[in-house]
Chain A
Amino acid sequence: MFIKEYIKDVYSGVKSLLAGMRRTGKYFITPSEIITEQYPEFKAKLSERFRGEVVMPHDANNEHACTGCTACELACPNGTIKIITKVDLQPDGKKKKAIDTFVYHLEMCTMCNLCIEACPTDAIKMAQNFEHSVFDRNMLTKKLNKAGSKIREGVE
């Protein structure tokens, strides 16, 4: 009686196992849809909202929209952004605050998007670049404003 039960169990076990393996076998023989992407050759197309890193867009005249208000610095939970300001002399002799260096620590950034939300002039945005591997950690500390750039006319 025990042996009969045992053989029945084994039979039903193998039967249900084969039912599952039939599914695997079907995909093995007829791979109708291949969803694996061969990474280095084919890079996935990321959506425009994907958060890769913070960048500061500059226009053709090497001008940006950052006023140095430090709203992003205050909004950042990790201390990723550090803005060093300087005082610029305007052509008419007035003094105006402007950014000297926009320091961005990519190694500390968690891509939470809070700095972009906080920016009143849309001076910074998220880029879709996700390949951040470098050999030296110091290379992850970036200066976002380009050399010789200045604030765009009319941005307050």
Chain B
Amino acid sequence: MYTTTEILEQKIQVAPTGELQDTGDLVINIGPQHPATHGVLHLVITLDGETVKKIEPHLGYIHRSIEKMCESLSYRQFIYSTSRMDYLSAHINNHACAMCVEKGLQIEVPRRAMVIRVLMDELTRIASHELWWGAMAMDLGAFTPFFHAFREREKITDIMEESCGARLTMNYIVPGGVMNDIHPDFQQKIKEFITQFKSKIYEYDEMVTGNIIFQNRTKGVGRISKEDAISYGCSGPVARASGVRSDIRKLYPYEVYNEVEFDEILETAGDSFARYMVRVREMHQSISIIEQLIDNIPEGDFQAKTKAVLKLPKGEFYTRVETARGELGVYIISEGGTTPYRIKFRSPGFSNLSALEHMAKGGKLGDLMATMGTLDLVIPDIDR
């Protein structure tokens, strides 16, 4: 730990960049403003020639202290701010928080609301993977896939806008259910989207997956073994690409996930290509879940009756969900008041980032981009 005086007097040399060190290593900065980091991530990289020797992620550039902020907001209000953590799966973040509050209050959520929540979750997952797919291809030098990915993603954001009222930070889930009932066109729009997605998904394989240059750049790059993935706390597609069973939807089913049939995608290679394949195949599984549920939305209330002021009983509550990036845990300590005493989010991006050095060490600098691209880092999620 650094003392305050040391920091104030700037005794700590964080990054002596651009100069050749005594050992012959070169220290360079990637970020905080760099197109490949997709946000304000700052990586201090020690290079020996072109080989990566050490990676030191520096965080704090987009820290908004959401956890602390939540302590002063009521149980209805704090949910909206979690949309700003992992903004690509904002809906799933809200879902986790609402579930934690419901667990504390022991609210019975109507079945209609549960099905709507799961449908929206899976749509968010597809949208997030679509954006990742486009951005990842762009990291590796292919520009066109970005537009193809956004063409399909636009349909999902349109559905979101129609039912939830916003395109990215929805704040659609409230404790007890969902904010509004679904739009009358909801089912028809989703069916249109599924038809379009299925008729266009082969283009993805044609453009990127089957490309030899892409395969050579990702196969065998950024490998992490099953044991290391567990010990680094990786979750989501990063862990599943190494063969770790980590899908919360399968292991600890919540809402209606135990009633739908889907496969947990597992790969064994643990390299960048395996992580790529896990996400692409996950999109198909999400489509399958949506197809099973879209005609079976039960009638009934979309929101359970709750009190105007929510007061959680004294105690500790924890829920976890599977976001597009991995396991998100919400931990609330309540003192019995209207605001939480402490909230902790276990975000998937932070643990996945910690494995970056292990993955990229010994590889080339160019391969670091492929590794980082397949980690699917969302910086506000790491730096809450």
Chain A residues within 8 Å of B, Cβ to Cβ: 9, 12-13, 15-17, 19-20, 23-24, 35, 46-47, 49-51, 75-77, 110-114, 117, 126
Contacts and interface: CB of A to CB of B under 8 A. Distances in A.
A20 B211 contact: yes
B210 A16 contact: yes
A3 B167 CA distance: 53
A49 B210 contact: no
Contacts of A20: 142, 144, 206-208, 210-211
B162 interface: yes
A126 B165 contact: yes
A76 B77 CA distance: 7
Contact of A49 (B73, B151, B154, B162): B162
A117 B179 contact: yes
Given A23-B206, A77-B77, A51 B213 contact: no
A46 B161 contact: yes
A38 B78 CA distance: 37
Contact of B165 (A13, A16, A50, A76): A50
Closest 5 CB pairs of A and B: A77-B77, A112-B80, A20-B207, A49-B165, A47-B162
Interface string B197-230: 0000001001110111100100000000000000
Given A49-B162, A51-B165, A126-B165, A114 B212 contact: no
Contacts, number: 74
Contacts of B210: 16, 19-20
A114 B76 contact: yes
Nearest to A49: B165
Given A75-B76, A112-B80, A23 B213 contact: no
B180 interface: yes
Given A16-B213, A23-B207, 17 more contacts: A12-B212, A17-B211, A17-B212, A17-B213, A19-B210, A20-B142, A23-B206, A24-B144, A46-B161, A47-B183, A49-B164, A49-B165, A75-B76, A110-B169, A111-B166, A111-B169, A113-B179
Contacts of A75: 76-77
B171 interface: yes
Interface string B253-267: 000000000000000
A111 B164 CA distance: 11
A119 B154 CA distance: 32
Interface string B159-191: 001111110010100100001100100000000
A77 B339 CA distance: 12
A83 B211 CA distance: 60
A76 B76 CA distance: 10
Contact of A51 (B151, B163, B166, B208): B166
Interface string B46-78: 000000000000000000000000000100111
A19 B78 CA distance: 49
Contact of A35 (B151, B162, B166, B207): B151
A114 B161 CA distance: 17
A13 B213 contact: yes
Nearest to B142: A20
A13 B212 contact: yes
B81 interface: yes
A77 B80 contact: yes
10 contacts: A9-B212, A19-B206, A20-B210, A23-B203, A46-B161, A47-B162, A49-B161, A111-B166, A112-B80, A114-B76
Contacts of A47: 161-162, 165, 183
